[in-house]
């Protein structure tokens, strides 16, 4: 069990996190599983990482992806962190079912963590069994890969395997392991863990590690820790704006699920909205709507103030001065977010430049969509098709009008929109192409994800493979897959999603 391989074509590991002090993690190997089977290997990602897909698809590779063998150079560990979960402080969390094998440098010269999620118990498992089940693993695979295809920063899925074990959840379900790839698994909660213990030395080591690895440009600035805080705030403001542009609801924006590099991480009860409404919630455990679609910017702001709190000892020796620094930095979050959000909406609406009434136009459309139960993705996609029709009206707007309960509501808004378009003229084809490049035809709609998971549980991986294939090019029309663009029928609507832990 876990016998290191000698000849090693698998991972050219170059580990840095494992060099940090021992109190940053617990060293332990994954726990073996009885009968690994490869469900899916992400060939293009694996190649981008400079790895050999054929080797990883071999029996030895499969044993590694399932946690049964440790590749040479791996220094397996579970990271420790803390976090606010639904606003409540939990002083110790940590990788309860994930093992970091090590880091590799991709072809793009970026360093990536290779982590096995579902790899067995660790000292941080608390009551959990350390395992993951097939449904949530496939969900994370397809949604994180869709995020990547949208161009939104995210962890990625390199492989999914089943383990041959049955895991007890609501019922017995097949066990699975996801190979997760991330620029970092350091979270806001990692900083909170050391801050809460008053371990300023560890805080500084962690901050220096994050700066050296992810924000090298600020290493030599005068106030690197302030610059780090500013940079994380900026990345998160941008990330959450991008989520909103695409109708994404993370579902569990706890501080331990907020990445220090601004990647989307932890695809638990996440979902994409069908019908637009800012109060939309899918997560079965989010009773108060804390993590509702429209609340996400506020929560990001709150989480980032927790980060500021944790960083205080590094910001200034003087306590009051440190608080002033942190407040100055976090005070910029709302405008950073608003700017990113409006910038993206201008692109979605086909606007060139900036005009005074843009915010009101964007908000006006969203309000109408909410009142009229319009499908978020289709509304913006169909807008692309009628953006060239200067002076057009209901005669050409049929397909988009029909998304609104009261189609006439669209007409009034569209007149103002077209005035704005013609105020900054642009070639019709150019505008259409630009709009189609930011308004996807396809998203991982909940009913499609469920359909793919249910089929996989019955042994049929075709729907999963098809869904993944469609979502690798979400901005292209794919007539053969037209049904994947459709909103759910009434009987297909998914109302709740689950963490699956």
Q: Which residues are catalytic?
A: 256
CB of residue 425 to Mg ion, shortest distance in Å = 48
Per CB under 5 A, the segment of 144-152, 265-273, 333-341, 413-421 that binds Mg ion is 265-273
266 lies in the site for ligand AMP, by CB under 6 A: yes
Binding mask 400-439 for ligand AMP (x = CB under 6 A): ----------------------------------------
Shorter beta-carbon distance to ligand AMP: residue 93 or 104: 93
List Cβ neighbours of 269 (8 Å cut-off, separation of 6 or more): 251, 252, 282, 283, 284, 285, 286, 497, 498, 499, 500
Q: Got the DSSP string for 246-294?
A: HTEE-S---GGGSBTT--B---SS-EE-SB--TT---BTT-TT-TT-GG
Residue with tokens 């913006």: 380
List Cβ neighbours of 200 (8 Å cut-off, separation of 6 or more): 194, 313, 314
The whole-angstrom separation of Cα 265 and Cα 238 is 15
Closest CA to 448 of 377, 356, 354: 377
501 lies in the site for ligand AMP, by CB under 6 A: yes
Residues in the interface with ligand AMP (CB under 6 A) total 18
263 lies in the site for Mg ion, by CB under 5 A: no
Among positions 95, 165, 230, 266, the unique one binding Mg ion when judged by CB under 5 A: 266
By a kind-dependent CB cut-off of 5 to 8 A, residue 131 interacts, out of ligand AMP, Mg ion, none, with ligand AMP
94 lies in the site for ligand AMP, by CB under 6 A: yes
- The dihedral formed by the CA atoms of 242, 244, 247 and 249, expressed in degrees to the nearest 10: 100
- Contacts (CB under 6 A) with ligand AMP, residues 282-311: none
Among positions 257, 275, 283, 303, the unique one binding ligand AMP when judged by CB under 6 A: 257
Closest CA to 143 of 265, 308, 305: 265
CB of residue 199 to ligand AMP, shortest distance in Å = 19
Among positions 97, 290, 381, 382, the unique one binding ligand AMP when judged by CB under 6 A: 97
Among positions 29, 67, 96, 474, the unique one binding ligand AMP when judged by CB under 6 A: 96
Per CB under 5 A, the segment of 117-125, 263-271, 294-302, 462-470 that binds Mg ion is 263-271
189 lies in the site for ligand AMP, by CB under 6 A: no
Shorter beta-carbon distance to Mg ion: residue 196 or 389: 196
Shorter beta-carbon distance to Mg ion: residue 257 or 303: 257
Among positions 144, 155, 163, 257, the unique one binding Mg ion when judged by CB under 5 A: 257
Shorter beta-carbon distance to Mg ion: residue 90 or 149: 90
Cross-strand bridge partners of residue 113 = 103, 182
Among positions 93, 137, 270, 365, the unique one binding ligand AMP when judged by CB under 6 A: 93
Binding mask 198-237 for ligand AMP (x = CB under 6 A): ----------------------------------------
CB of residue 226 to ligand AMP, shortest distance in Å = 29
Kindly state the tokens that stand for 277. Answer: 């409404």
Angle at 88 between CA 249 and CA 234, to 5 degrees: 50
Shorter beta-carbon distance to ligand AMP: residue 210 or 252: 252
The answer to whether 256 touches 352, Cβ cutoff 8 Å, is no
- Contacts (CB under 6 A) with ligand AMP, residues 118-137: 124-126, 128-131
Q: Where are the alpha helices (DSSP H) in 151-256?
A: 188-196, 200-214, 224-246
CB of residue 431 to ligand AMP, shortest distance in Å = 42
CB of residue 171 to ligand AMP, shortest distance in Å = 15
- Cα atoms in the Cβ-side hemisphere of radius 13 Å centred on 123: 12
CB of residue 297 to Mg ion, shortest distance in Å = 20
Neighbours of 302 (CB within 10 A): 17
Taking CA atoms, 323 is separated from 228, 240, 314, 383, in Å, by 15, 25, 11, 46
Q: How many residues does the chain have?
A: 501
The whole-angstrom separation of Cα 345 and Cα 309 is 32
The answer to whether 330 touches 301, Cβ cutoff 8 Å, is yes
Question: Closest residue to ligand AMP, Cβ-based?
Answer: 128
The whole-angstrom separation of Cα 281 and Cα 271 is 9
The answer to whether 398 touches 386, Cβ cutoff 8 Å, is no
Binding site for ligand AMP (CB under 6 A): 93-97, 124-126, 128-131, 252, 257, 266, 268, 499, 501
Judged by the rule CB under 5 A, the positions of this chain that interact with Mg ion are 257, 266
């Amino acid at each position: 069990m876990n016998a290191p391989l000698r000849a090693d074509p698998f991972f050219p590991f170059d580990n840095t996190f494992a060099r940090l002090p021992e109190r940053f993690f617990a060293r332990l190997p994954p726990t073996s599983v009885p009968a690994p089977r490869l469900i899916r290997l992400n060939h293009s990602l694996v190649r981008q990482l400079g790895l050999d897909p054929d080797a990883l698809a071999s029996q030895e590779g499969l044993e590694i992806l399932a946690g049964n063998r440790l590749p040479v150079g791996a220094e397996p560990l579970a990271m420790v962190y803390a976090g606010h979960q639904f606003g409540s402080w939990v002083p110790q969390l940590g990788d309860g079912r994930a093992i970091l094998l090590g880091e590799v440098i991709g072809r793009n010269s970026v360093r990536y963590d290779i982590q096995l999620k579902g790899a067995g118990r660790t000292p941080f498992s608390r009551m959990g069994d350390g395992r993951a089940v097939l449904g949530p693993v496939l969900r994370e695979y397809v949604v994180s890969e869709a995020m990547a295809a949208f161009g939104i920063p995210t962890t990625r899925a390199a492989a999914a395997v089943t383990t041959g074990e049955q895991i007890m959840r609501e019922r017995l379900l097949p066990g699975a392991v996801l190979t997760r790839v991330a620029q970092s698994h350091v979270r806001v909660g990692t900083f909170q863990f050391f801050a809460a213990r008053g371990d300023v030395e560890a805080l500084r080591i962690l901050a220096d590690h994050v700066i050296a690895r992810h924000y090298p440009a600020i290493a030599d600035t005068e106030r690197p820790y302030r610059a780090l805080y500013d940079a994380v705030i900026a990345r998160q403001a941008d990330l959450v704006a991008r989520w909103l542009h695409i109708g994404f609801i993370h579902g569990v924006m706890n501080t331990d699920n907020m990445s220090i590099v601004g990647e989307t991480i932890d695809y638990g009860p996440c979902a994409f909205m069908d019908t637009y409404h800012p109060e939309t919630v899918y997560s079965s455990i989010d009773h108060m709507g804390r993590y509702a679609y429209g609340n996400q910017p506020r929560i990001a702001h709150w989480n980032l103030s927790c980060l500021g709190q944790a960083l205080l000892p590094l910001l200034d020796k003087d306590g009051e001065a440190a608080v002033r620094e942190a407040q100055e930095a976090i005070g910029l979050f709302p405008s950073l977010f608003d700017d990113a959000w409006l910038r993206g909406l201008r692109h979605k609406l086909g606007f060139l430049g900036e005009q005074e009434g843009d915010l009101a136009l964007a908000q006006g459309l969203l309000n109408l969509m909410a009142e009229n139960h319009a499908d978020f993705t289709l509304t913006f996609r169909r807008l692309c098709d009628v953006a060239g029709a200067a002076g057009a009206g209901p005669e050409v707007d049929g397909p988009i009008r029909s998304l609104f309960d009261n189609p006439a509501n669209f007409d009034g808004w569209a007149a103002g929109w077209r005035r704005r378009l013609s105020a900054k003229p642009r070639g019709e084809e150019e505008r259409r192409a630009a709009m189609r490049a930011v308004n996807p035809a396809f998203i991982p709609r909940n009913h499609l994800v469920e359909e793919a998971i249910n089929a996989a549980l019955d042994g049929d991986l075709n729907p999963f493979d098809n869904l993944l294939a469609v979502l690798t090019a979400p901005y292209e029309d794919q007539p053969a897959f037209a049904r994947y663009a459709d909103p759910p029928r009434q009987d297909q609507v998914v109302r709740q999603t689950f963490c699956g832990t």
